[in-house]
Structure 1
Amino acid sequence: MKVGILTLPLWHNYGGILQAYALRLAIEKMDHQAILIDVKRESISKRKQAINQTKRWVKARILYRLRRPYYPNEKEMASISSDTRAFVDNKIKPSSGHIRLSFVPKFAKRLDAIVVGSDQVWRPEYCPDLKLYFLGFAKKRLKKISYAASLGTDDWRFDPKETSRCGKFLRKFDAVSVREDSAVDLIKDNMQVDAVQTCDPTMLLSDTDYLLAADLKPEHPSGGRGIFCYVLDPKEPRMQGLPNIAAKLNYELFFVMPKVFDKGYAKSSADYIFPPVEEWIKALQESDFVITDSFHGCVFSIIFNKPFIAIANTVRGRTRFESLFKVFGLEDRLFDSVADIDPEILNKSLDWDEINKIRENEKQKGFGFLTDALKIGSK
């Protein structure tokens, strides 16, 4: 069976890239041909580009002190993502090639099934086209599945029109799974669809799988480098005080992230390029401890058995952390800010035998869901 995987556009989000890699490989291990539908947003007119540039100028010159977001355009995005996109292009194969969203319905004609997921594909603020990600274009013959699709939040963000239309599309799915426990009830209450909770696709693979993906030997040394700080929003007040944690643990801090995109890009573009995915995986393996405000930073700490603490990122979606930590009994490792970290937790040992047992169980549930979903209606 030819199975397409539809996820959010992949640029430089390490977790987003690796969950797509994992889901494709997992489906391939089930003896299906898994194909990444590698999407990017629609191109915009020169007039729209000019308007966006003017808005950016205002943000940079007038509103900069108000900490308004400053986003790269497509050309800049391609530049800062050149090294991470190399992983997508070279290691998530086969794929559709880097296609515009509007081309997906045409590409889907050669597929037998599409799996939507994972990541926050069903969060309205993040999803570039809700109809597309609820497979509103799909013909009846196409098997429609979601795997660990995320709403990102524990409140309903769809407006009434979106709820009605997307619910109509979702009721035509063959099988629906979501990543967070809160999403099970939200989808049932608002779309009258029964969904099950499954683990993030990255948990369908082992640490060895990721080491091999990073061109590292399975016996690559673990630890010895200090505290890996995988922080998405380093300038936020909640993330200040990391050196104090390092002092308490008697480790050095190290980072694998470029400068946060801002108006300085034009003068020193090289400083904003994201390091390769392989370097990120290597940093995780060589770390002794992880501090992160990223959902996938937490997931990979669990996969690699690295002690960690997480700083909740409410804007990006706190419920993702809470749902994950509830499954593994790690609620005491989640804090609202670095300043709130309980010193006792820093040296508290983790029961990796129990955690790995839970992870294996979640992995089997995930594979079981995909196996059953891909069999539904098959000849």
Structure 2
Amino acid sequence: MKIAIITLPLNTNYGGILQAYALQTVLQRMGHDVQHLQPKVEFHPLHPVWKMPFVWSKRLLRKCFGGEWRLPVFEHPHRWIRRYTDVFIYKHIEMRPLSDEEWNASLAKDYDVFMVGSDQVWRPCYALPLERYFLSFLDDTGSNPRIAYAASFGTENCEFSANQILDCRKLLQKFSFVSVREQSGTEICKRIFGVNASHVLDPTLLLSKDDYLKLIQDQSPSKGNLMVYILDETPDTQLFISQIAASEKLIPFNTNYSLGNRLGIPQLPVENWLRGFVDAKLIITDSFHACVFAIIFNKPFICIGNSERGMERFHSLLDLFGLQHCLINLNSFCGVPFIDWNSVNTRLEEFRECSLKDLKRVLKTFERGRGSN
């Protein structure tokens, strides 16, 4: 079958990119043709045209005399910052870019199934417009099955407005199968949207370590053995990292350069980020997907709770594998957590098998339905 996947825009977020790659790979291995429907990337001017000569001059001065030698002078900063991650996206992910006008019911004739997921596709602050991630662009005349795989609300409470709940409730009840990434999501679906949902693994956990190692065969080693991937850095986290590095006698290396930090440094390639998990003896992070990949690569990790980005994601993931003790408070840290990897890997195999079984079963049902028509 030809399956259209609707997920968040792919840009510099490693977890977002790799969950899209993983779900696509799983579906392709099942024999399906897959495309991610994505909004067309447009780099809008950051300044009026008349002001650009002054902007370029200022950048040139910063580049030559301000120590920011990597800063692009003429290229759009947003294009520059994603130059490496875009290479991975366009190489490994099947995409169909769509303008706003092209998100319409005519897409139904091009695909057999529409699948929403994964990641925080049902969190209003990230999913814009929200109704698109409930397939509002399809009308009732088409018979295309609608599926949600490992969709996430991001938090334990639904952040929808009253009007969004009304609209999305109607849309979600048209889905043939709904699955969510967090256990709390099953309760939200039942209580607020009136649908039953299964609890499944994030797509990245459906692939093995060996699957990811194939992506980094030619990648150079990292410059350290303490992987640091912090999305929201603070002076407290900086101090904590330096203390851990000293006490554990490890060399930290950073795998995150955000647009908000230094425009002169593009986000590192996806392969660099993955290689970090191979080389690390310990990982410090406040990222959900960094925790996921620490589990996949069987590397000890310290998770610093990131309440701004949603704590429920961490609780659900770590509860699943008996790893709640890896989520720490900086003010009461008691040492690097011990992890029983045999127990974790056994649980991972069980949950992976169940999640894949659910997905295969649903898609087989649709295939049989098409065959009988």
TM-score of the two chains, using structure 2 as the length reference: 0.85
User: Which residue pairs with 1:125 in the alignment?
Assistant: 125
1:165-176 equivalent positions in 2, closer than 5 A:
165-176=167-178
Deviation of the 1:153 alpha carbon = 0.5
1:26 paired to 2:19: no
Relative to structure 1, the CA distance from residue 150 to residue 354 in structure 2 (aligned partners, 3 Å threshold; closer, same or farther) is: same
Relative to structure 1, the CA distance from residue 215 to residue 188 in structure 2 (aligned partners, 3 Å threshold; closer, same or farther) is: same
1:151-300 equivalent positions in 2, closer than 5 A:
151-216=153-218, 225-235=224-234, 237-238=236-237, 240-258=239-257, 260-261=259-260, 265=263, 269=264, 271=265, 273-300=266-293
Structure 1 counterpart of 2:110, which letter? R
Q: Distance between the aligned counterparts of 2:322 and 2:341, measured in 1?
A: 12
Is 1:143–1:173's contact at 8 Å kept on the other side of the alignment?
yes
Q: Distance between the aligned counterparts of 1:123 and 1:335, measured in 2?
A: 25
Relative to structure 1, the CA distance from residue 102 to residue 283 in structure 2 (aligned partners, 3 Å threshold; closer, same or farther) is: farther
1:1-379 equivalent positions in 2, closer than 5 A:
1-40=1-40, 75-92=76-93, 94-96=94-96, 98-105=97-104, 106-139=106-139, 140-216=142-218, 225-235=224-234, 237-238=236-237, 240-258=239-257, 260-261=259-260, 265=263, 269=264, 271=265, 273-337=266-330, 339-343=331-335, 346=336, 348-377=337-366, 378-379=369-370
Is 1:227–1:254's contact at 8 Å kept on the other side of the alignment?
yes
- Secondary structure of the structure 1 residue equivalent to 2:110: coil
TM-score of the two chains, using structure 1 as the length reference: 0.83
- Secondary structure of the structure 1 residue equivalent to 2:210: helix
CA root-mean-square deviation: 2.6
Q: Distance between the aligned counterparts of 2:113 and 2:123, measured in 1?
A: 22
Deviation of the 1:195 alpha carbon = 0.6
1:16-62 CA-partner distances (Å, limit 9, x unpaired): 00000000000111111122223347787x8x987xx9xxxxxxxxx
Is 1:11–1:77's contact at 8 Å kept on the other side of the alignment?
no
1:236-290 CA-partner distances (Å, limit 9, x unpaired): 645542110112212111112225525x63xxx3x2x001101111111111111
- Secondary structure of the structure 2 residue equivalent to 1:254: strand
Is 2:172–2:195's contact at 8 Å kept on the other side of the alignment?
yes
Relative to structure 1, the CA distance from residue 239 to residue 4 in structure 2 (aligned partners, 3 Å threshold; closer, same or farther) is: farther
Relative to structure 1, the CA distance from residue 225 to residue 240 in structure 2 (aligned partners, 3 Å threshold; closer, same or farther) is: closer
- Secondary structure of the structure 1 residue equivalent to 2:103: helix
Q: Distance between the aligned counterparts of 1:87 and 1:258, measured in 2?
A: 17
Q: Distance between the aligned counterparts of 1:187 and 1:283, measured in 2?
A: 36
- Secondary structure of the structure 2 residue equivalent to 1:241: helix
- Secondary structure of the structure 2 residue equivalent to 1:326: helix
Deviation of the 1:354 alpha carbon = 1.2
User: Which residue pairs with 1:61 in the alignment?
Assistant: none
Q: Distance between the aligned counterparts of 1:246 and 1:162, measured in 2?
A: 46
Q: Distance between the aligned counterparts of 1:184 and 1:104, measured in 2?
A: 28
Q: Equivalent pairs: percent with the same residue?
A: 36
- Of structures 1 and 2, the larger Rg is shown by 2
Is 1:42–1:100's contact at 8 Å kept on the other side of the alignment?
no
Q: Distance between the aligned counterparts of 1:323 and 1:236, measured in 2?
A: 28
Deviation of the 1:350 alpha carbon = 1.7
Q: Distance between the aligned counterparts of 2:321 and 2:209, measured in 1?
A: 17
Q: Distance between the aligned counterparts of 2:218 and 2:355, measured in 1?
A: 26
Is 1:215–1:278's contact at 8 Å kept on the other side of the alignment?
no
1:210-234 CA-partner distances (Å, limit 9, x unpaired): 11123459xx99x994110111112
Q: Distance between the aligned counterparts of 1:75 and 1:259, measured in 2?
A: 15
Is 2:103–2:137's contact at 8 Å kept on the other side of the alignment?
no
The alignment of Structure 1 onto Structure 2 pairs a total of residues equal to: 341
Is 2:212–2:274's contact at 8 Å kept on the other side of the alignment?
yes
Q: Distance between the aligned counterparts of 2:176 and 2:41, measured in 1?
A: 27
Which sections of structure 2, spanning at least 5 residues, go unmatched? 52-74
Structure 1 counterpart of 2:3, which letter? V
Deviation of the 1:156 alpha carbon = 1.7
1:132-156 CA-partner distances (Å, limit 9, x unpaired): 1100122431111001000001112
Q: Distance between the aligned counterparts of 2:109 and 2:308, measured in 1?
A: 37
Q: Distance between the aligned counterparts of 1:303 and 1:289, measured in 2?
A: 14
Relative to structure 1, the CA distance from residue 112 to residue 359 in structure 2 (aligned partners, 3 Å threshold; closer, same or farther) is: same
Is 1:238–1:336's contact at 8 Å kept on the other side of the alignment?
no
Q: Distance between the aligned counterparts of 1:156 and 1:298, measured in 2?
A: 24
Q: Distance between the aligned counterparts of 2:90 and 2:259, measured in 1?
A: 24
Structure 2 counterpart of 1:245, which letter? I
- Secondary structure of the structure 1 residue equivalent to 2:271: helix
Which sections of structure 1, spanning at least 5 residues, go unmatched? 54-73
Structure 1 counterpart of 2:162, which letter? P
Q: Distance between the aligned counterparts of 2:239 and 2:115, measured in 1?
A: 39
